[in-house]
A and B are shown apart, each in its own frame.
Chain A
Amino acid sequence: MITTRAKLLVVDDDADFRAAMTTILESASYEVVTAANIEEATQRILAERPDLILLDIMMDSLFDGYSLCHAIRNEDKFAAVRTTPIIFVSAVRRIAGSRFGFKSEDQGLIGPDDYIDKPVDPKDLLARIEKYLAK
């Protein structure tokens, strides 16, 4: 019996960051697909159905991870992949814990499953991915 490893999608506009993430994830034998912008990400998600998404949330008018996440959770187009685990990745610093729109029990899923700071600690990242894939 062949056990296939999960497929992970890395969405980030920085090519070096995508390369570093790919190295980390492939070292743990994951299959990695990448996207450099929202359009590509949308195509990848619908075509490849990744098991988990790492999503950069740098805010500018061209790259809005928040709205992609919101779309995945709410739009009909993404219905088949609505509950895909999403981890936000961001360069914006947080101190002790971050205030963030996670799940809201009464409203159902409204956002990401987790949040991780850049630069990413490889061990921390892999541990979290393991956790969400196990669910």
Chain B
Amino acid sequence: MTENAPLILIIDDEEAMRDSCAQILVRNRWRAETAEDGASGLAKIRDLRPDVVILDLKMPGLSGFDVLRSLAEIDSRIVAIVITGYATIDSAVEAMKAGAFDFLPKPFTPEELRIVLGRALDRRRLTLETEALKREKKALEEHFITMVSHQLRSPLVAIQQYFEVILAGIAGEPDARWMDMIRKAGERVRGLLGLINDWLDLSRIDQGRLLGQFRPVDPAALLGRLIEFLSPSARAAGVTLEWSAAPPRDAARITGDEESLEQVFSNILSNAIKFNRPQGKVGVRLTTEPGWVVIEIRDTGIGIPSESLPRVFDQFYQVAPREGGVRKGSGLGLSIAKKIVEAHRGRIDVASEPGVGTVFMVCLPAADAADAG
């Protein structure tokens, strides 16, 4: 509510009722508006956004129940009080079920109306305050998460930066054993930084803050870029990247947030390269089906045991590292990927055969001509 007095709208087909109610309201220093039927009442609700609506149940044309239902759709925070000369328990119950806050049988005294309105206005104030508090809480949480992740990141970045200086030989001729240990220490720091970034992403996506505005995205271009970007690391791992798109390549279009989709495929592709065998292959295939764009990423890697397959998208799930090595990564990547895909109303599935390889399949809704326009 603004600094203005509360605004109360009276919808009743009886002029005498509208006038006497308005008088009572004004005497109590509230602002009054009136409407003589459901249709004009709804129009005034849309225009004026009153705090409370006093509503007669039986009117020609749109009934009070019709108005109640429409009111809920326009703004469920507006409080409705139902008045009627045909007061029965049934109609009272029905009115409450339709969203009315209170029920006042005619005839009523000014005092009775005042008391009911007092309760309605309290309710209204509470509703708006709760909303404001929720918004504030959300803002504080976001600020907190950002602050904490910054506090955690900065020292780690500083540590890693010193390592980079030493490893580059800038701080003097490095001893081979020192180099080895510093490199390993650097990897642990990198892992921690990855964990913080992932945790930040996860909390943002839960808050609906990770995804930017949805725009037309060209999946072929996106995948092409990613494959080019990852080619060096694939080469370094001795893995071949194969990329194919069933024609017509240009026809595949989706609507979404490009950056987060990049993250999804980057994650799956990096894993496919990382958990592959020497001279292994990673195949990326883009196809379309009616209404869908399908991206398949197939690797010739170590595979995932069937007991673990259902848990692959769980938070913190990680394949046990080979030779008892150190676990890299946070284990959050795939759970984030799944949330991103689902936020795009898509699906992500995985199939695997240990010792042979793994296939990830991401299905995203194809952009309609209407969406892309």
Q: Which residues of A contact B (CB under 8 A)?
A: 14, 16-17, 20-21, 23-24, 27, 58, 60, 91, 93, 95-97, 99, 118-123
Q: Is the interface of A mostly helix, strand, loop or mixed?
A: loop
Q: Which of B166-190 contact A (CB under 8 A)?
A: 168, 170-171
> What are the residues of chain B within 8 A of A97 when measuring CB–CB?
225, 229
Interface readout for B247-274 with A: 1 if CB under 8 Å, 0 if not?
0000000000001001100100000000
> What are the residues of chain A within 8 A of B159 when measuring CB–CB?
16
CB-based contact B170/A16 at 8 Å:
no
CB-based contact B161/A20 at 8 Å:
yes
Q: Which of A99, A122, A123 has the most CB atoms of chain B within a 10 A radius of its CB?
A: A122
CB-based contact A20/B259 at 8 Å:
no
User: CB of B162 within 8 A of chain A?
Assistant: yes
Given contacts A60-B147, A96-B225, A96-B226, contact A91 B153 (CB under 8 A): yes
Interface residue from B160, B170, B225, B259 paired with A119 (Cβ < 8 Å): B160
**In the assembly, what is the distance between CA of A24 and CA of B129, in Å?**
54
Interface residue from B158, B168, B266 paired with A95 (Cβ < 8 Å): B266
CB-based contact B158/A121 at 8 Å:
no
CB-based contact B158/A14 at 8 Å:
yes
User: CB of B218 within 8 A of chain A?
Assistant: no
Size class of the B contact interface (CB-based, 8 Å): 20 to 34
> What are the residues of chain B within 8 A of A122 when measuring CB–CB?
164-165, 168, 170
Q: Which residues of B contact A (CB under 8 A)?
A: 146-147, 150, 153-154, 157-165, 168, 170-171, 197, 225-226, 228-229, 259, 262-263, 266
**In the assembly, what is the distance between CA of A122 and CA of B162, in Å?**
10
CB-based contact A120/B164 at 8 Å:
yes
Residue of B nearest to A13 (CB): B154
CB-based contact A118/B263 at 8 Å:
no
| 13 pairs of residues in contact across A and B, judged by CB atoms under 8 Å | A14-B157, A16-B158, A16-B159, A16-B161, A16-B162, A17-B158, A24-B165, A91-B153, A91-B157, A93-B197, A96-B228, A96-B266, A119-B157
**In the assembly, what is the distance between CA of A97 and CA of B168, in Å?**
24
Interface residue from B153, B158, B170, B229 paired with A23 (Cβ < 8 Å): B170
Residue of B nearest to A17 (CB): B158
> What are the residues of chain B within 8 A of A24 when measuring CB–CB?
165, 168, 170
